[in-house]
Amino acid sequence: MPMRYKITFPYALLAMLFALVSAFLVSRYVLESMMDRPKPHRSEPQDIATAIEEGADALMLSGETAAGDFPLESVKAMARVIRATMPIDRRAYLTKFKGEYTRIPATRNIHVIGHPICELAEAARSPFIGSYATTGVSATMVSRFRPTMPVLAITTNVETA
Q: Which domain holds residue 142?
A: 99-154
Smallest CA-to-CA distance from 44 within 13, 21, 68 is with 68
Q: Are residues 110 and 149 in the same domain?
A: yes
Q: Are residues 12 and 44 in the same domain?
A: yes
Q: Are residues 57 and 117 in the same domain?
A: no
Instruction: Report how many domains make up the chain.
Output: 2
Is 78 part of any domain? yes
Q: How many CA atoms lie within 13 Å of 68's alpha carbon, on the beta-carbon side?
A: 23
Q: Are residues 38 and 7 in the same domain?
A: yes
Q: Are residues 122 and 72 in the same domain?
A: no
**Among 51, 85, 119, residue at a domain's last position:** 85
* Each residue's pLDDT tens digit, 83-105: 888 765 555 655 555 554 444 55
Is 90 part of any domain? no
- What pLDDT score does 108 carry? 64
Average pLDDT, the chain: 77
* Each residue's pLDDT tens digit, 102-120: 445 556 666 677 888 888 9
pLDDT top residue among 27 and 15? 27
**Among 33, 61, 85, residue at a domain's last position:** 85
Apex 52 CA angle, 49 and 56, nearest 5 = 145
Q: Are residues 80 and 142 in the same domain?
A: no
Helices (H) and strands (E) in the chain, counts: 7, 4
Is 122 part of any domain? yes
Q: Are residues 22 and 72 in the same domain?
A: yes
Is 159 part of any domain? no
Q: Are residues 38 and 103 in the same domain?
A: no
* Each residue's pLDDT tens digit, 24-83: 677 777 899 999 999 999 889 988 888 877 777 778 888 898 889 999 999 999 999 988
Lowest mean pLDDT among 11-15, 33-37, 60-64, 132-136: 11-15
